[in-house]
């Protein structure tokens, strides 16, 4: 197994390993060590089945079913398919997800540890994904700013995704209402301590973070907008140019990602994702003391 760093901020490529094989635990341990160090790992040329994808992912922990029920794949509850195919005359509900910077599941009280995304079809050009390093975003703040945000909490709301998309878009409004019912707004700490490395990272995103607890919308807006912009400075980021059969693993505890609309919508982009169940984190907004 070889490890090659891809960018200053985050990302490494892992080669000379076949993820469809029954890998020894020592290799899994080496991959986990590289993941914790580089935040994002790229495994090229992994031509494996859905079952092999699931089996490899499970070597790192329990897999979750997506919290938005309407997005779960018929391939299995562990799989989220992200594609722009039209099926039975209906456009995909996942074709435009991820257009804003976000960490998967940050709108829940059990946000996932990591995500494994496998490329199965790509347009001729574009279809890339940006990733960032939220450790670096936190560590490069001034001491004064670190003191200001040390005890701040944010409200993360799934409905923010729909608002930023200009409404429900192509999604069934009844399904959107059900998503909101099953995933009420949550409160998370703005600074998160990684459960394995012990390092601090910023934990907020333009996709779901609505406001800062205890501040008015106007008072908190300036802080949030600064941190959103600061978090994605070029030196903190890595842009992945997908190839078919790439598998990318990232750490949702210390990274965000963004899938820009940078390709011909008439060409197919198809990804399959598995997601590691995370630890309990945060609380529901309705648990906030009056």
Find the CATH number of the domain harbouring 231.
3.60.130.10
Q: What is the pLDDT of residue 167?
A: 45
Residues 6+ apart with CB under 8 A from 147: none
pLDDT for 178 beyond 60: yes
More confident residue, 205 or 160: 205
Q: How confident is the model at residue 168 (pLDDT cuts 50, 70, 90)?
A: very low
Q: Quick check: is 15 in a domain?
A: yes
In angstroms, rounded to a whole number, what is the distance separating the alpha carbons of residues 263 and 269?
Answer: 9
Query: Which stretch of DSSP H or E encloses residue 25?
Result: helix 25-38
Q: Quick check: is 288 in a domain?
A: no
Q: Quick check: is 37 in a domain?
A: yes
Do residues 229 and 14 lie in contact, with contact meaning Cβ atoms separated by under 8 Å?
A: no
- Give me the mean pLDDT over the 93-122 stretch: 93
0.95 surpassed by pTM: no
Q: Quick check: is 162 in a domain?
A: yes
Q: How confident is the model at residue 93 (pLDDT cuts 50, 70, 90)?
A: confident
In angstroms, rounded to a whole number, what is the distance separating the alpha carbons of residues 117 and 120?
Answer: 10
pLDDT for 70 beyond 80: no
Tally of domains within the chain: 1
| Residue 120 phi, psi dihedral angles, 5° rounding | -115, -20
Q: Quick check: is 219 in a domain?
A: yes
pLDDT for 290 beyond 50: no
**Dihedral over alpha carbons 94, 133, 115, 12 (to 10 degrees):** 110
CA angle 205–6–64, rounded 5-degree value: 45
Mean pLDDT of the chain: 92
Q: What is the pLDDT of residue 199?
A: 98
- Give me the mean pLDDT over the 115-123 stretch: 97
In angstroms, rounded to a whole number, what is the distance separating the alpha carbons of residues 46 and 192?
Answer: 32
Structural domain harbouring 173: 2-283
Place of tokens 């140019």: 241
pLDDT for 194 beyond 70: yes
- Give me the mean pLDDT over the 82-111 stretch: 89
Q: How confident is the model at residue 258 (pLDDT cuts 50, 70, 90)?
A: very high
- Give me the mean pLDDT over the 251-276 stretch: 96
Do residues 203 and 150 lie in contact, with contact meaning Cβ atoms separated by under 8 Å?
A: no
Q: Quick check: is 16 in a domain?
A: yes
Q: What is the pLDDT of residue 208?
A: 95
pLDDT for 154 beyond 60: yes
pLDDT for 165 beyond 80: no
3-state secondary structure of 58: helix
Residues in the chain: 290
- Give me the mean pLDDT over the 187-192 stretch: 98
Q: Quick check: is 290 in a domain?
A: no
| Residue 127 phi, psi dihedral angles, 5° rounding | 80, 25
Q: Quick check: is 289 in a domain?
A: no
Which pair of tokens denotes residue 263?
């390709």
- Give me the mean pLDDT over the 182-208 stretch: 95
Lowest mean pLDDT among 62-66, 148-152, 163-167: 163-167
Q: What is the pLDDT of residue 183?
A: 81
């Amino acid at each position: 197994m070889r490890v090659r760093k891809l960018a200053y901020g985050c990302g490494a490529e892992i080669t000379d390993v076949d993820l469809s094989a029954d890998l020894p635990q020592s290799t899994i341990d080496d991959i986990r060590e590289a993941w914790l160090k580089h935040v994002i790992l790229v495994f090229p040329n992994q031509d494996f089945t859905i079952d092999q994808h699931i089996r490899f992912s499970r070597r790192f922990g329990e897999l979750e079913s997506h919290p938005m029920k309407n997005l779960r794949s018929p391939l299995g509850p562990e799989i989220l398919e992200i594609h722009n195919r039209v099926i039975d005359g209906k456009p995909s509900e996942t074709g435009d997800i991820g257009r804003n910077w976000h960490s998967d599941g940050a709108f829940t009280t059990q946000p996932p540890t990591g995500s494994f995304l496998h490329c199965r079809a790509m347009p001729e050009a574009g279809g890339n994904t940006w990733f960032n390093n939220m450790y670096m975003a936190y560590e490069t703040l001034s001491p004064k700013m670190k003191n200001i945000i040390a005890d701040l909490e944010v409200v993360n709301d799934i409905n923010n995704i729909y608002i930023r998309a200009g409404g429900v878009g192509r999604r069934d409004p009844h399904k959107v209402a059900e998503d909101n019912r099953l995933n009420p707004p949550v409160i998370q700490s703005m600074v998160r301590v990684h459960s394995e490395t012990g390092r601090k990272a910023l934990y907020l995103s333009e996709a779901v973070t609505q406001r800062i607890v205890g501040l008015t919308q106007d008072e908190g807006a300036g802080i949030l907008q600064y941190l959103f912009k600061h978090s994605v400075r070029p030196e903190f980021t890595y842009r992945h140019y997908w190839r078919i059969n790439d598998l990318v693993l990232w750490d949702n505890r210390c990274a965000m990602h963004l899938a820009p609309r940078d390709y011909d919508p008439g060409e197919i982009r198809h990804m399959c994702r598995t997601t590691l169940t995370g630890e309990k984190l945060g609380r529901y907004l309705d648990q906030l003391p009056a």
